[in-house]
Amino acid sequence: MLPDYFARELNDRQLEVVTDTEHPILVLAGAGSGKTRSIIYRAAYLIKEKQVPPWKLLMVTFTNKAAKELQERLEKLLGIPMRTLWVGTFHSLCSRILRFESIHLPFNSNYSIYDEDAQKSLLKKLYKEHGFDAEKLKINRVLSKIGGYKNRLLLPEDLLANYPEEDKELGSILNIYRLYQQQLLLNQALDFDDILLYTARLLQSNEAVREKYRAQFQYIMIDEYQDTNAAQFEIIHQLASGHQRVCVVGDDDQAIYSFRGASLRNILEFEKDYRGVRSIRLEQNYRSTGNILALANAVIKHNRRRHVKELWSEHPPGEKPRLRTYHNEIDEANQVVEEVKALHKKGMSYQQIAILYRTNAQSRVFESSLMQARIPYSIVGGQHFYQRKEIKDLLCYLATLCNNSDNESLLRIINEPPRGIGQTSVNRLISYAAKTRISIYSALQNSEAIEELGSGAKKRISEFTLQLNTWKTIASQSPALEVVKTIVEELGLISQYRKSSDPREIARAENLIEFVSSVSEFSEKFQRDNERHPLVEDFLPFVALQTDMDMVKEEADSLRLMTLHNAKGLEFEAVFIVGLEEELLPHRMSMDSREEIEEERRLFYVGITRAKRILQLSNASSRRLYDTFYFAKPSQFIGELDVTLFDLPDGDPGIAPAPQRVRKPQKVIKETQKHYRIGQKVYHNEYGLGVILSVDGESEDARLTISFAGKLAKIMGNYVKTEF
């Protein structure tokens, strides 16, 4: 007999999740369907009604915050402490197991856990000791490769015996992996991927340990199962495959973390992994109005790889989602902020409003507009635009050119990007500057007089000093935009970051492009107001004011700015999804396959389902890239939808959407088609002779970044001539 409060608090489907405890259960929980409540009540039912001791339960979440919430709500429901309950993230729970079972492992129970900075520091040391080329083998890329191997439970010895010897690059990466792993063990340290890898391999190889934990964890519950990777799957499979009492909760329509190694296969094929699986769909939504859910359902139905679900609600239909097109990204930001002000005037708190975008770089124009409107905001899951590393580095270059006494700015950029000026040389420069009581910038000018510096160090310092002095001369005479473009181009940062397969590196390139756009925008306004081009010394105070976030820190009621990825798991009264354009959403780096397009569509779906009452979608007709504008195509995801789902401005037929397209690499290119390469000279009827700086795509469909006498433009391949 169920307690009365169970029936009062749960719907019929949720009750099924709670009470069917002896079979493998796949809970397909749509957005806002009360999955957390279902998990908590299932645990309460096992403890109170089935008399299962708390330590016999294993509850796995993806954040420590979620784990804490589960435990606190369970304690409140049962009225007793749950100190013996195993609840936590995969990493926290596996770490406990490794410390308990260290006798079976090549490290002791007091091992250290290295974060990303420690990993990079260790790799830099290994590169230096063993002569690896950091230019050819980028540390971020190598770390990403190592993480991928560990996700597949592969150690260096598993790989080195079988790799093709002719692949020299792969051989180098595997040797780095071998040395890296050896050094970790010498240091009695693990990285985060190691925690999962060693737990999975221990459970696979040691029957006694495996049976011990199978006997302990009689009931297993996994939240956000769609976000599990191969290693996490194996850990759960090893623990649950004996008794089969495993309940996984997730939503394949919210699977958006493949770039972290998450495998959609785990939730789609759960029924193949266990015997007698029962699937339960939670489709009643407690969050959003009917019209918002209608849009969400219409979006996600275009995905093929999914469990079919249809969200519904007992809430009234509410307002239709708004669909708006603006002139450019500045107009979009300003108009969205006006809508925010209107909502706030009607009584909605700022903290109940969110602006969602695909990439971090898109936050800048909204930050500027919000500041001008004096609306407090906070960025969730990310840094403020001008606080991001690559932006701060560039600002430190500018600060050094304007103020030679700014030692901190100089020290930040003296070897950023790497130019062979090591810490020993830096320490000698600092010592000389202190001894002679001059700035470090002045010490650079006198480097030949510093006896402790070797000839190689003096040469590299001299080259850097010459570069700084050249830029300083330009900065004293030229507009800020020209100075910034010169530094960015001569450092080669954008092209460097774009070469990486690491999404974080690609984001850095986008942020730098957005920074140049911000200088261009500032310059236009400054020139209008002051009738002259701004210098760097004019731009820096503007940025300093932009980075003053005191208002946000003091004000609890602040609007939320975040990427769509960071919005997962959150909810707001009003949501604005901006930048719904091709190459933003779907992102240009995620258009090479149907699978990638479907994940981008899931990301859009996640954004839509964050909204409770108010939802607005928008795009810009043109967008600034570097210091020029290009025409933006509306997202193909809008084109898939019936315009009757939207609230449109009077007389507006809706966005004319881009056709759905998946960018497919061409394996065979006809001889009549054009080929483009970086450095190639081309001719444009309007701009004249130019040089290609980057190529995105192939043949006439390629999107080219071209320098025309120092002026950059983004042009499709069919608009330029290669023979002239």
Residues annotated as catalytic are 35-36, 223-224, 254, 610
Determine the Cα–Cα distance for residues 411 and 463; give it in Å rounded to an integer: 16
Q: Identify the burial level of 532 via C-beta atoms within 10 angstroms of its C-beta, where 0-12 means exposed, 13-18 middle and 19 or more buried.
A: exposed
Determine the Cα–Cα distance for residues 457 and 452; give it in Å rounded to an integer: 10
Coil, helix or strand at residue 21: coil
Here the tokens at position 471 are 């830029």
Determine the Cα–Cα distance for residues 493 and 509; give it in Å rounded to an integer: 7
**Contact status, residue 203 vs residue 213, Cβ threshold 8 Å:** yes
User: Nearest Cα to 321, choosing from 607, 660, 635, 658?
Assistant: 607
Q: Identify the burial level of 226 via C-beta atoms within 10 angstroms of its C-beta, where 0-12 means exposed, 13-18 middle and 19 or more buried.
A: buried
DSSP characters over 287-343: SS-HHHHHHHHHHHTT-SSS-----B-SS---PPPEEEEEEEHHHHHHHHHHHHHHH
Determine the Cα–Cα distance for residues 664 and 174; give it in Å rounded to an integer: 30
**Contact status, residue 578 vs residue 330, Cβ threshold 8 Å:** no
User: Nearest Cα to 625, choosing from 718, 706, 563?
Assistant: 706
Length of the chain: 724
User: Nearest Cα to 140, choosing from 626, 503, 487?
Assistant: 503
Coil, helix or strand at residue 25: strand
Torsions phi, psi for 188 (to 5 deg): 50, 55
Paired residues of 629 in beta bridges: 624
Distances (CA, A) of 715 to 230, 630, 659, 665, 688: 41, 9, 20, 19, 13
Determine the Cα–Cα distance for residues 675 and 266; give it in Å rounded to an integer: 41
**Contact status, residue 277 vs residue 26, Cβ threshold 8 Å:** yes
DSSP characters over 252-275: GGG---GGGT--THHHHTHHHHST
Torsions phi, psi for 586 (to 5 deg): -70, 145
Pairing mode of beta strands 112-114, 189-191: parallel
- Helix residue spans in 492-584 (DSSP H): 493-498, 503-530, 536-546, 550-554, 564-567
DSSP characters over 541-557: HHHHHHT--HHHHH-SS
Determine the Cα–Cα distance for residues 288 and 672; give it in Å rounded to an integer: 54
Determine the Cα–Cα distance for residues 469 and 465; give it in Å rounded to an integer: 6
Q: In the sheet that 57-61 helps form, which strands lie side by side, from edge to edge?
A: 86-89, 57-61, 219-222, 246-250, 25-29, 278-282
